[in-house]
Chain A
Amino acid sequence: MTVIDLAQTDVRELNRTLQMAESGSFEVRHPGGAHALAAGLTRPVDVTIDGHAGYYCAGMNQEGIVTVSGNVGTGVAENMMSGTVRVRGDASQSAGATAHGGLLVIEGNTSARCGISLKGGDIVVGGSVGHMAAFMAQAGRLVVLGDAGADLGDSLYEAQIYVRGTVASLGADCEEKEMTASHQEELAALLEQAGAIADAAAFRRYESGRNLYHFNIDNAGSY
């Protein structure tokens, strides 16, 4: 375990060290809400951030395993390609935005636009998500153990959404769909992978109604 103290080192030096490492474990102390911590990893290094992180923490992650003990700011794991990012606290807006792959676990709550434009990654939220979660999400899965805010899944494409609690409202063209045995099985496997203790049978499933899937001028009022 290598300890890097941001009270002694700047973020650029930290990220250079993490990005150069082939493997190994790193602990980052005194993050102080700094931005872009552990961004741009391309190898299976294990990074623990001891405290609160700022914007774009673990952004563009590829193969990295990043754990944050506190909260994160806007855009955690944005455009993640693979690997695992775990946040023990809460996440601010746009958590996991445009993620193509990998697993993002938020043990607390997220605010608005969690999983916006998701392109294939998986997001598991232990608490609740704010408004417009999974907005325009194209592929991948968003799992919410708590409640979802207004306009869930607005303008959804092929992403799957599972919510255990209440949904304040569904966004345009997002519909509740049947929870089949195969969906339950798939969800149970994802919950286990995320270390989330929840019964897959207790979730509802939401998907695109595919009415707004292709732009049609007659639907302009529905967007």
Chain B
Amino acid sequence: MCGIVGLYLKNPDLRDRLGAFFSPMLEQMTDRGPDSAGVAIYRDQASDDDAKVTLYDPDPDFDWDAVAGAASSDLNITITAERVSSHAILRAPVDAGALRRWIETNRPGLRIMSSGNILEIYKEVGLPADVLARFGVPQATGSHAVGHTRMATESAVTTEGAHPFNTGDDLCLVHNGSLSNHHRLRDWLRDQAGIAFQTDNDSEVAAGYLTWRLGQGATIAEALEAAIADLDGFYTFAVGTRDGFSVLRDPIACKPAVMAETDDWVAMASEFRSLAQLPSVDDATVWEPEPATVYSWGRA
């Protein structure tokens, strides 16, 4: 069992309170996932030519400025590092792929949690309330966020095994369920498509699968449509995109999901109780997404 939530604020006037609306949603899902928690926040978009990469190292005193300094001199640009608890955001006037490649080559021990120019991903072991506080999520501003509370079934309880998983620039995936063909699919994606994996986690395979499809030129909706045929198992996915988020449930609809929408926001959660605190929820349209149907929201 796990809990997943997503919130997109249609009304720009509400965006300075994204974290205040989002944090109680995730905290309500503690019963479904007390092991670890993670959030993907979309905020402070860099310009199209700039990169924003979230990194993780378990050492609380890790010298992020040294990493930024070394990358700055190698790439001959000015890169800044901002520590956020066990994570750090690196910002650079360079393509996100170039910065990511430098990190993979020169600092292979670091975990790249997200890359792109708007997305930030934070995840840690612990109760959702503690994880939210640790990364300052209740104070966060932004247009949208996706989150996950984990009750591990398929792999170890580790920071790397927590969700969301980055699946390409400014894309991330959270998953409630379990996949049954992830071993074979992971082997195929690694050997035939060159996708790298950091854990034994089944959900990371779903993220890797979407990365591969997107790399082939598919849109996120097309990639999710294809996933219905290629992923075997139980799932409700929420996929964060630069402009909003998408939702997909498996054809049998084993895992729950509920959606709600008002003029000001659109939200999804594993259970309605996560949505019950949202402003004007009593006037919202509330419904259960159909199985094997891709739903997408956002500015696009």
Q: Assess whether B275 is interfacial by the CB under 8 Å rule.
A: yes
Q: B273, A74: Cβ atoms under 8 Å?
A: no
Report whether B273 and A93 are in contact in the complex, using a CB–CB cutoff of 8 Å.
no
Q: Chain B, interface size: which category?
A: 10 to 19
* Interface contact A92-B256, CB-CB below 8 Å: yes
Structural contact, A73 and B272, CB atoms closer than 8 A: yes
* Contact across chains for A130 and B253 when beta carbons are under 8 A apart: yes
Contacts of B287 in A (CB 8 A): 90
Q: What is the CB-to-nearest-CB distance from A155 to chain B, in angstroms, rounded to a whole number?
A: 15
What's the minimum C-beta distance from A92 to chain B, rounded to whole angstroms?
6
How many chain A residues touch B (CB < 8 A): the figure is 20
- Nearest 3 Cβ contacts at the A-B interface: A33-B272, A33-B273, A32-B276
With an 8 A cutoff between CB atoms, is A121 at the interface?
no
CA of A52 to CA of B285 in the docked complex: distance in angstroms? Answer: 12
Determine whether B138 belongs to the interface, using a CB cutoff of 8 Å to chain A: no
- Among B242-292, those with CB < 8 Å from A are 252-253, 256, 258, 271-277, 282, 286-288, 290-291
Q: A130 to B282, alpha carbons, bound, how many Å?
A: 25
Q: Select one of A70, A73, A89, A112 contacting B271, CB under 8 A.
A: A73
A93 — nearest CB in chain B belongs to which residue?
Answer: B253
Structural contact, A51 and B282, CB atoms closer than 8 A: yes
B256 touches A32 (CB 8 A): no
Specify the chain A residue showing the minimal Cβ separation from B273: A33
User: Of residues 40 to 98 in A, which have CB atoms within 8 Å of B's CB atoms?
Assistant: 51-52, 54-55, 70-71, 73-74, 89-90, 92-93
User: 12 other contacts beyond A54-B272, A93-B256, with CB at 8 A cut-off?
Assistant: A32-B273, A33-B275, A51-B282, A52-B276, A54-B273, A71-B272, A71-B286, A73-B256, A90-B287, A112-B291, A130-B253, A131-B291
State A219–B5 Cα separation when bound (angstroms).
43
Cβ distance B12 to chain A, nearest Cβ, rounded Å: 28
B288 touches A90 (CB 8 A): yes
Which residues in B have their C-beta under 8 angstroms from that of A34? 273
A111 beta carbon closer than 8 Å to chain B: yes
CB contacts (< 8 Å) of B275 on chain A: these are 33
Within 8 A of A (CB), among B59-109: none
Distance of A113 Cα from B272 Cα, bound (Å): 19
| A contact residues around B252 at 8 Å (CB) | 112
For A18-34 the 0/1 string (1 means CB < 8 A from B) is: 00000000000000111
Other-chain residue from B276, B282, B288 in contact with A33 (beta carbon distance below 8 A): B276
Q: How far in angstroms is the closest Cβ of chain B from A58?
A: 16
Q: How far is the CA of A93 from the CA of B275 in the complex (A)?
A: 18
Q: Which residues of B contact A32 (CB under 8 A)?
A: 273, 276-277
How far is the CB of B195 from the nearest CB of chain A, in Å? 33
State which of B253, B276, B282 has its C-beta within 8 Å of the C-beta of A112. B253
What residue in chain A is nearest B31 (Cβ atoms)?
Answer: A35
Chain A contacts for B288, CB-based, 8 A: 90, 92, 111
Q: With a CB–CB cut-off of 8 A, which chain B residues contact A93? A: 253, 256
Decide yes or no: A33 and B271 within 8 Å by CB, A52-B276, A74-B256, A93-B253 being known contacts: yes
- Sampled A-B contacts (25; CB under 8 Å): A32-B277, A33-B271, A33-B273, A33-B274, A33-B275, A33-B276, A34-B273, A35-B273, A52-B276, A52-B286, A54-B271, A54-B273, A55-B271, A70-B286, A71-B272, A73-B256, A73-B258, A73-B271, A90-B286, A90-B288, A92-B256, A92-B258, A112-B253, A130-B291, A131-B291
CA distance A33 to B260 in the complex (A): 13
Give the Cβ gap from A168 to chain B, nearest Cβ, in Å. Answer: 12
Q: Enumerate chain A residues within 8 angstroms of B276, measured Cβ to Cβ.
A: 32-33, 52
Q: For the complex, give the distance between the alpha carbons of A32 and B286 in Å.
A: 13
When distances are taken between beta carbons in the complex, the residues of chain B under 8 Å from A70 are 286
- Please name the residue on chain A nearest to B286 by beta carbon: A71
Give the distance in Å from the alpha carbon of A74 to the alpha carbon of B270 in the complex: 11
Chain B's closest residue to A70 (CB) is B286
Q: Determine whether the beta carbon of A52 is less than 8 Å from that of B291.
A: no
A32 and chain B: residue at smallest CB distance: B276
Interfacial chain A residues near B290, Cβ < 8 Å:
130
| Distance of A112 Cα from B252 Cα, bound (Å) | 8
* Interface core residue of B271, B282, B288, B290 (most chain A CB under 10 Å): B288
Q: How far, in whole Å, are A51 and B273 apart by their CA atoms in the complex? A: 11
> How far, in angstroms, from A34 to B271 measured CA to CA in the complex?
9
Distance between Cα atoms of A61 and B275 in the complex (Å): 27
Rounded to whole angstroms, the CA-CA distance of A112 and B275 in the bound complex is 22
Interface flags for B114-126 (1: CB within 8 Å of A; 0: not) read: 0000000000000
Q: What residues on B are CB-neighbors of A51 within 8 Å?
A: 282
A73 to B288 Cα, complex, angstroms: 10
Minimum C-beta distance from B248 to chain A (A): 15
Q: Chain B residues near A73 (CB, 8 Å)?
A: 256, 258, 271-272
Min CB gap B5→A, angstroms: 13
